Amino acid sequence: MRIVHRIGRGLESLIVAALIGAVALLSRTIDAMIGFVGRQSDRLDAGLGELARQSKERHRQQGRRLIDPISLK
- Per-residue pLDDT reduced to its tens digit, 10-53: 999 999 999 999 999 999 999 999 999 999 999 999 999 999 99
Q: Is the pLDDT of residue 69 over 90?
A: no
How much is the pTM?
Answer: 0.61
First to last CA, the chain: 85
- The pLDDT, as a whole number, for residue 65 is 74
- The pLDDT, as a whole number, for residue 73 is 56
Count Cα atoms within 13 angstroms, Cβ side, for 72. Answer: 0
Are 19 and 27 spatial neighbours (Cβ–Cβ below 8 Å)? no
